[in-house]
């Protein structure tokens, strides 16, 4: 049985926490509204801030199936919504011919039957599910092109899909829709208007510490504090790609695997590839700059001990 949707913003925060997702109030508010009013949630933000994770956690905590549509350039109706099973249709035609069926209208009705329909994620999400309305994750929408985005308008506002040969399929119960975008291009306003918009920002120091505590429990408190301090400093620099939350989790997991208890410039140099993914950024940081930041972080921690 699916869990009911949360009854208040506070309950939403708790719900996400139950799935090991430490959300800030703004996200919980938007998510609560999206759930309550049955409208899609549109999350935009840098890579690695936990946009996709929202949908996964939601599916887990609400005990509903997760249906994921990963977008890519050239994504079309055949791979996103439905496709006819051509091979089976051909066989059907051959069989009909062998049996001497000559009524073409009947044959057409036969081969464009639901049993020859292959359901892709969008259509699947509109079907009734025993576990309750599914979570539909439309991931990285910015990777598709504008025509597909326009197609989504019908799906996201009326929750229906039109198949010319069969008619219109309408969802009995609206799926919970989460759309994410990395902003490799702007999504059209028409689509955003149908959703609740949220810009997922990097977490602040306190929240990132909480996240690490949950997601990388192996790291000591002291190390986590240093990792978070360091990463937060990096985000202030003018880097080509600042590290996201995913990177800080990876980094502290990696460091604790290496049995590091205390950050030092050498370890940072050796493991910088976990945090930064562009050669220019790594090159810039390696050596003195990383050491400088580390010194600053450590003096900050000394000045303001945990508590």
Partner 1 sequence: MDTLPDPPAGLPGREPRDGKLASNIVHFARTLRTAGLKVGPGQILRAIEAVEAAGLRNRDDFYWTLHSVFVNRRDQREIFDQAFHVYWRNPRLLEKMMDMLLPQIGVPAEQDKGKQLSRRLQEALQPGQGEAPEQSEEPPEVEVEATFTVSDREVLQTRDFEQMSQSEIDEALRAISRLRLPVPERRTRRYQPARRGPRIDFRASLRRAMRPEGLTELARREPRRRPPPLVILCDISGSMARYTRMFLHFMHAITNDRDRVYCFTFGTRLSNVTRALRNRDVDIALQKASAQVEDWSGGTRIGQALHEFNNKWSRRVLGQGAVVLLITDGLDREGASGLDEEMERLHKSCSRMIWLNPLLRYGGYEPKSQGNKAMLPHVDDFRPVHNLESLSGLIAALGARTVGADKRLSGWQTELRKE
- Residues lying near partner 1 in the complex (CB under 8 A): 8-9, 25-26, 29-30, 32-33, 36-37, 42, 44, 73-74, 76, 78, 84, 86, 89-90, 93, 104, 107-108, 111, 142-143, 145-147, 182-186, 189, 192-193, 196-199, 238, 240, 280
Residues in contact with 307: Cβ distance below 8 Å, sequence separation at least 6, in sequence order: none
The residue (of 207 and 298) whose beta carbon lies closer to partner 1 is 207
Quote the least distance from Cβ 73 to partner 1, whole Å.
6
What are the helix (H) ranges across 19-84? 25-37, 51-62, 77-80
3-state secondary structure 207-230: HHHHHHHHHCCCCCHHHHHHHHHH
* Spatial separation of the C-alpha atoms in residues 228 and 224, rounded to whole Å: 6
Contact present, 117 and 82 (Cβ < 8 Å): yes
The residue (of 91 and 258) whose beta carbon lies closer to partner 1 is 91
Quote the least distance from Cβ 218 to partner 1, whole Å.
33
The residue (of 255 and 276) whose beta carbon lies closer to partner 1 is 276
Quote the least distance from Cβ 262 to partner 1, whole Å.
33
> What order do you get walking across the sheet with 176-181 strand by strand?
66-70, 135-139, 176-181, 41-45, 196-200
* CA-based radius of gyration for the chain: 24
The residue (of 127 and 182) whose beta carbon lies closer to partner 1 is 182
Quote the least distance from Cβ 266 to partner 1, whole Å.
28
The residue (of 38 and 65) whose beta carbon lies closer to partner 1 is 38
Quote the least distance from Cβ 5 to partner 1, whole Å.
12
DSSP letters, 74-117, are T--HHHHTEEE-HHHHHHHHHHHHHTT---HHHHHHHHTSGGGE
């Amino acid at each position: 049985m699916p869990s009911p949707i949360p009854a208040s913003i506070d309950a939403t925060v708790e719900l996400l926490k139950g799935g090991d997702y430490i959300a800030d109030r703004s996200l919980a508010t938007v998510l609560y509204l999206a759930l309550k009013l049955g409208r899609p949630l549109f999350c935009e933000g840098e890579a690695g801030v936990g946009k996709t994770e929202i949908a996964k956690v939601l599916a887990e905590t609400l005990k509903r199936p997760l249906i994921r549509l990963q977008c890519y350039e050239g994504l079309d109706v055949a791979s996103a919504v439905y496709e006819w099973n051509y091979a089976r249709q051909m066989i059907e035609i051959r069989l009909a011919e062998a049996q001497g069926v000559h009524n073409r209208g009947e044959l057409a009705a036969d081969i464009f039957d639901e049993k020859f329909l292959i359901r892709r994620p969008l259509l699947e999400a509109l079907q009734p599910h025993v576990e309750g309305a599914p979570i539909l994750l439309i991931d990285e929408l910015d990777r598709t092109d504008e025509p597909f985005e326009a197609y989504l308008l019908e799906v996201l506002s009326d929750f229906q899909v039109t198949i010319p040969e069969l008619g219109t399929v309408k969802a009995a119960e609206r799926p919970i829709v989460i759309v994410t975008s990395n902003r490799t291009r702007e999504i059209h306003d028409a689509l955003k208007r149908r959703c609740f918009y949220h810009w997922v920002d990097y977490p602040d120091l306190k929240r990132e510490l909480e996240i690490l505590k949950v997601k990388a429990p192996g790291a000591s408190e002291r190390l986590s504090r240093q990792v978070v301090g360091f990463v937060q400093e990096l985000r202030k620099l003018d880097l080509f790609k600042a590290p996201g939350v995913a990177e800080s989790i990876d980094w502290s997991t990696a460091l604790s695997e290496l049995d590091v208890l205390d950050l030092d410039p050498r370890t940072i140099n050796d493991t910088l590839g976990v945090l930064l993914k562009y050669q220019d950024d790594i090159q810039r940081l390696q050596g003195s700059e990383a050491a400088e930041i580390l010194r600053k972080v450590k003096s900050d921690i000394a000045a303001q001990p945990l508590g």
